[in-house]
């Protein structure tokens, strides 16, 4: 059993997944005025540039505006859209509008619509926790309303949600097209990890042989 524990320790670093925000990655976004839980404020809305463990860049969107995105690397777990109550509808929004975004206002509209789905089940921007203000950009608001109307009753898959391992209140949950499994599988363990794995396998063989002798 000790050998098996050693193998687990050796393998576990290979499957770590972290997300680090990277402002150098070109991203479409725009600040929008809104009211959140009765407080008038201005929010960054749109794509968020991040890098994963292996350095791969990605453009993701935020699923929870109540939590600030931490600037440092955040350990996350990737889950499919179907595992979250709002996931399939957000996946549909991203599948239908994400690839055609060409401007900051368009990306902000998608983000605005996604937040309303998460906070108010997509009831629009005149009531609920998330509301538009008189100063909200009219073009962004109109497009966000169009996206909400089109997504009503819709669902899709193929989108990953990245939830902080330290809890949903630790950092924002992000979502996007990036496949976490591909990121993990493509990572190669460091040489030290290979040595630990090799040592674990040798111990496993010795433990197995010892067990065979004792069983005779």
Q: In order along the chain (216 residues), what is the average pLDDT of each group of 10 residues?
A: 37 64 97 97 96 93 94 95 97 96 98 98 97 98 98 96 93 86 43 41 41 37
Model confidence pLDDT, tens digit, residues 161-200? 999 999 889 999 999 997 655 454 333 344 443 344 344 4
Q: Is 93 helix (H, G, I), strand (E, B) or coil?
A: helix
Distance (Å, whole) CA 19 – CA 44: 19
- Identify the pLDDT of residue 188: 38
Domain range summary for the chain, segments of one domain joined by +: 2-208
Spatial CB neighbours of 50, under 8 Å, sequence gap ≥ 6: 19, 20, 21, 22, 25, 57, 58, 59, 60, 174
Residue 160 and residue 59 in contact, taking contact as beta carbons nearer than 8 Å: no
Distance (Å, whole) CA 63 – CA 119: 9
- Identify the pLDDT of residue 168: 83
The pTM of the full predicted model, rounded to 2 decimals, is 0.77
């Amino acid at each position: 059993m000790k050998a098996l524990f050693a193998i687990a320790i050796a393998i576990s670093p290979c499957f770590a997944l972290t997300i680090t925000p990277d402002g150098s990655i070109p991203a479409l976004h725009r600040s929008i005025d809104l009211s959140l839980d009765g407080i008038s404020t201005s929010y960054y809305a749109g794509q968020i540039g991040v890098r994963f463990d292996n350095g791969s860049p990605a453009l993701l969107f935020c699923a929870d505006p109540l939590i600030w995105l931490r600037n440092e690397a955040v350990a996350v777990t990737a889950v499919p859209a179907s595992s979250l109550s709002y996931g399939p509808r957000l996946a549909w929004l991203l599948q239908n509008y994400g690839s055609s975004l060409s401007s900051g206002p368009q990306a902000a509209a998608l983000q605005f619509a996604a937040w309303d789905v998460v906070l108010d089940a997509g009831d629009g921007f005149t009531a609920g926790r998330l509301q538009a203000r008189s100063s909200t950009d009219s073009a962004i608001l109109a497009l966000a309303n169009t996206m909400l109307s089109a997504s009503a009753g819709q669902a899709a898959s193929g989108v990953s949600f990245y939830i902080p391992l330290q809890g949903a209140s630790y950092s924002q949950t992000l979502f996007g097209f990036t496949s976490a499994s591909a990121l993990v599988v493509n990572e190669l363990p460091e040489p030290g990890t290979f040595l630990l794995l090799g040592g674990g396998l040798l111990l496993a063989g010795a433990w197995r042989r010892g067990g065979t002798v004792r069983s005779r």
